[in-house]
Amino acid sequence: MSELHEILEEEYLKQINEFDLKMLLEMVEEVLDAPMQLEEGPPVAGAPPSEEKELEMLLKMIPDIAVSEIGWSDVRNVAEGQENEIKGPERQLLEGYLKNIQGANFAEKIESISNFYTNGAGMVAEVGGDDRTKRIVQAISYLVFYKTLTKVITNFNASSAGFSFESFLAALVNGYQIPANTGTIADYVDRSTGEVIPVSLKLYRQGALEVGGSYKDLVNDLTGVGKETDKWPGFANKMRYVVCTKEIDDKAAGLDQEGKINFYQFDFTLNNIMEILHKSSDKSRLCIRLPRELLSAVKGGVTKGAENYMNDRLPSRSNLPSAEELEKIFTDGLKQILINKKIAISQMQFDDLTQALDYGKDDKIFLPADPEIYGGGAQVGVVRGQSDLNAKVVEDILKKFDWYEAPLRTTTGRKATAALLQAIVSKKAGANGAVKKTVSSRNQADKRKAELSRLSQGEEHFLSPEESAKEYGQLGTEQQKIALLNSLGYLRTYKFHLSHGATLSIQTKDTKTEFLGAIVVGRRMVGEVLKSIRELLNTEIYEIFQSLKILSDSLNLYFAGGLENNTLAKAATTNANNIGSKEILQSDDESGTQLPLPFSKQ
């Protein structure tokens, strides 16, 4: 079929820029050329393939995207003061398919994909009309979406799946991932509407959903203090949250897992942050407590320099580093310790490890901080830079990796596993110990925290969460920014937290949690989608291959005749130019061999 490919490149692909037909032809050619499987024993005449083999065959018909390369190939290159996107081939390939998903924005795209599962053939017919190319483009693009999403969700561990899921959704909305430790709570940007919208993505199991993170980073985003905020001027003082819950039957393994993902969406804004967090958990509500003295000053007209009002009155003028800043110190320190101790793990293993630990977001790996640091009193919970790591929890995380235990001992020595654990959790020589030392060396701990602890006792200096939310609602935009930058959660670098119920019930004047739709995952579910449009695909692709056969025959006769019959040459060219149309040129020879349908059960 090589001569067919050449004609397609020279004639047909000039006409169609939206769909890579060459790739489709190579896919079908590979299937048609594959050797038949021979089995011992007499064949059963006319025996249909088993359901499992049919499903496997159907999945192979759908183009395959290397998920592991989707995210990492989307890098940012800073040159001459500008950021340029450099996308790897797999990322470009995926985006080429996903741009054909219907919808003017993310919500509409999710609704479209959700509807395709039950009405794929109808949607293809409606969008494609009489244009064969559009019909094939629509069908294949949706199938690629379902197959790739299934691979992302079912074929990776939790941390890797989360990262790949970010990459996947960023590709769907013509966006890009935001590197970690950049001082923003956003994970990627959405450019599907032409506007640049920052998005924080959450993916949890159904019933275990929680929305939270660094309160300081969220405030930086909403007030415009964060350096990333200059890149989304049209979405100023806002942060979009895409919240997903997985209902997956994990009794099976890999692609055999099946279920659905529910998609929700809401926006944090400068106006609603207090109203939303006022209804969060008791610990999270502490974030929004505002200083009485600050509110009096702001209401009295003080605005210049007021963003540092409380800092100027505390022992240290510097705020504590955010969780993301401390995570970078931890990660860099751990890498250097592993090098020094000659603990041999690869870069990929190191990345998997740091993602699984999730130092900047997962409180479960920490022990509560010592209350005496903050002036005594009740437990203060986890405070990065002061809390020690929970060695048992960290060791359980390590044991989930197949390269831990015996493989690591084999390559590095019998005590390698213990050395790796200590490199992480040791109070004196571990990476977390290095974080604590760094915080202490910056003079950002004892006196400042003790004073904040004293001021936050009772309501003499800091208003209650209820009163703070009420007073905040009466402030203007610039006053609100000043209030947030002086709130207790910002000064103490607290984390905020919204439970499953609180997240799904958000409703304020300017936002509410909106259900966008549910998308099925699992190879059996993908097979069902393909079956629903198989007849359509078979018809379209069969007609294409009819024309390709006529094209091939015409070319062969033309060259065999010494390039003298111009009628044959013209017929070949006409066929090449018309393959994308709905009309099929008929051959004079009606005895031609019929090609098998690539999506049939045969």
Q: In this predicted structure, what is the pLDDT of residue 134? A: 81
The single-letter DSSP state of residue 237 is: T
532 in Cβ contact with 525 (< 8 Å): no
pLDDT of 444-480, one tens digit each?
455 677 777 788 888 889 999 999 999 999 999 999 9
> How far from 363 is each of 253, 431, 489, CA to CA, in Å?
29, 16, 16
Of the given ranges (10-19, 88-97, 234-243), which has the lowest mean pLDDT?
Answer: 10-19
Q: Computed over its alpha carbons, how large is the radius of gyration of the chain?
A: 30
Q: What's the pLDDT band for 305 if we cut at 50, 70, 90?
A: confident
Q: Does pLDDT of 267 surpass 90?
A: yes
Number of H helices, E strands in the chain: 25, 10
3-state helix, strand, coil in the chain (%, to 5): 55, 10, 35
Q: Mean pLDDT for the chain?
A: 77
DSSP codes joined into one string, 117-166: HHHHHHHHHHHHTT-HHHHHHHHHHHHHHHHHHHHHHHSS-HHHHHHHHH
Cβ neighbours of residue 507 closer than 8 Å, sequence gap 6 or more: 513
Q: Does pLDDT of 152 surpass 90?
A: no
Q: Which two tokens stand for residue 114?
A: 């959700």
pTM over 0.75: no
Q: Which two tokens stand for residue 378?
A: 């009740």
pLDDT of 269-302, one tens digit each?
999 999 999 999 888 999 999 999 999 999 888 8
Interior CA angle at 525 toward 524 and 529, to 5°?
A: 115
Q: What is the dihedral angle through the alpha carbons of 24, 25, 30, 31, rounded to the nearest 10 degrees?
A: 80
- The candidate with the shortest Cα–Cα distance to 173, out of 248, 103, 124, is 103
451 in Cβ contact with 314 (< 8 Å): yes
User: Cα(537)–Cα(503) distance, rounded to whole angstroms?
Assistant: 41
- The candidate with the shortest Cα–Cα distance to 271, out of 554, 476, 121, is 476
Q: Which two tokens stand for residue 123?
A: 């949607």
Q: In this predicted structure, what is the pLDDT of residue 41? A: 44
pLDDT of 8-26, one tens digit each?
344 433 443 444 445 544 5
Q: What's the pLDDT band for 214 if we cut at 50, 70, 90?
A: very high
Q: Which two tokens stand for residue 154?
A: 């079912």
| Residue 309 or 71, more confident | 309
Q: In which element (H, E) is residue 84 found?
A: strand 82-87
pLDDT of 519-577, one tens digit each?
988 878 887 877 777 777 766 665 555 555 555 655 565 556 556 666 666 665 655 55
Q: What's the pLDDT band for 2 if we cut at 50, 70, 90?
A: very low
pLDDT of 370-399, one tens digit each?
766 654 445 567 888 888 999 999 999 999
Q: In this predicted structure, what is the pLDDT of residue 43? A: 45
Q: What's the pLDDT band for 157 if we cut at 50, 70, 90?
A: low
